[in-house]
Amino acid sequence: MLFFLQEHNARYPDLRPRIPMFKLFKKPRTHGLGLEYRAGGEHYRSFVGPPGNYDLVAAMVFNLLTCAGLRQYHKLLDIGCGSLRIGRLLIPYLNPGNYIGIEPNRWLVEDGIMNEVGWDQISLKRPTFSYRESLQEFTDSLEIDYALAQSIFSHCGLDLIDNWLIQVSMHLKPTGGMFATFFIGETDYQGKGWVYPKNVKYKIDTISAIAARNGLKFTLLDWKHPRQSWGLFCRESYDFSLIRNGVLAWNNLFDNLDQSEHLR
């Protein structure tokens, strides 16, 4: 089911779409910081990982994407957006309509909106949410510049990873790329499907081979993560000028900006 915020208020037709009244008065299922919960617990913050790292993971991903060139005019796909741990930074940053979140657990998204983002922000920025486990609802290419799969492949069998790469490759622009995390191992997990909260490991060569099979280049990134490793899966025309031997940095981005775009 897609959740589009495109119905405009009749009194202010050019300002923002109307949020259904029942949503404005609905209370979140969970609230607070959830620090008493373990990762995977039934709280909007702990369900997506250790609640004590909720802020750290958001900062890590936002900095990664902006150092990789993400600008307000780009369109971004957030796979497994959960409780908007990262979306709460990306939705305000991106231009209206440029954030697309995929999350089968609708309560997580709604708790994230009510606790972290607010319905006014959703009304203003008009993100799209799909409460499915795939991109099958999107029949036309989304023309995605950046895709994100933070702590998704680390809980997937190779069958799901392959399926996601097939789908994402269809929606990426020729210059687009997906940033994803996974656990590196000496052997490959042999199971199938979604195994959260269990963690699984794969050899780098295995991940690279699956990417190539789906027409994507794979690059291991030197970007710190509390537990996992970052990789870039990109189309043939992706601009690697901001990635030097797998390393991204704000200084690289600044040096590559056109002089007219330099901060003043």
Is the N-terminal amide bond of 92 cis, ω within 30° of 0? no
pLDDT at 245: 82
Could you tell me the CATH number of the domain that includes residue 114?
A: 3.40.50.150
DSSP state of 186: S
Question: What's the domain count of the chain?
Answer: 1
pLDDT digits (tens, 9 = 90+) for 133-188: 999 999 999 999 999 999 999 999 999 999 999 999 999 999 999 999 999 999 99
Backbone phi, then psi, for 179, in 5-degree steps? -100, 125
Pairing of strands 172-184, 229-234: antiparallel
Q: Is the pLDDT of residue 238 over 60?
A: yes
pLDDT, position 99 = 98
Question: Which residues constitute the domain of residue 107?
Answer: 2-261
Residue 9 has pLDDT above 50, yes or no: no
Q: What is the pLDDT of residues 68-80, one digit of tens each?
A: 999 999 999 999 9
Whether the Cβ atoms of residue 137 and residue 2 lie closer than 8 Å to each other: yes
Q: What is the four-CA torsion angle of 246, 217, 232, 210, rounded to 10 degrees?
A: -130
Residue-wise pLDDT tens digits, 222-232: 999 999 999 99
Alpha helix (H) residue ranges in 14-139:
21-25, 54-67, 87-93, 106-112, 119-125
pLDDT on residue 73: 97
- What pTM value is reported for the model? 0.89
Mean pLDDT of 34-41: 94
